[in-house]
Amino acid sequence: MRNYLTIIFPPDKDPDLAVRSKNRGQVFVEFVLLILVMISVSMIMLKVINNNIGDRWKKMVETISSPTSSKIEFY
């Protein structure tokens, strides 16, 4: 006995097939865009944080060594 849905909606005339394939494509595009946004935010944060950390360390070393008369050179 054949499935009733196969008789009513043959596989090539399935009304939900177009919707499902469209949704599959949309999910993939959303996933790619989400990954790109996450990578962009991560790269921006790393660039900002790495630049500020170097400056902070330099200021801390200068503050700690300020009571002495020795000169500190940074490379």
Q: Is residue 43 part of a domain?
A: yes
Q: Is residue 65 part of a domain?
A: no
pLDDT, tens digit (0-9, with 9 covering 90-100), for 24-60: 778 889 999 999 999 999 999 888 888 788 888 888 8
pLDDT of residue 62: 82
Q: Is residue 12 part of a domain?
A: no
Q: Is residue 40 part of a domain?
A: yes
Q: Is residue 38 part of a domain?
A: yes
Cα end-to-end span (Å), the chain: 83
Q: Which domain holds residue 40?
A: 31-60
How many domains does the chain fold into? 1
Q: Is residue 1 part of a domain?
A: no
User: What is the pTM for the complete model shown?
Assistant: 0.48
pLDDT, tens digit (0-9, with 9 covering 90-100), for 51-73: 788 888 888 888 887 777 777 77
Q: Is residue 75 part of a domain?
A: no
| Cβ-contact 25, 36 below 8 angstroms | no
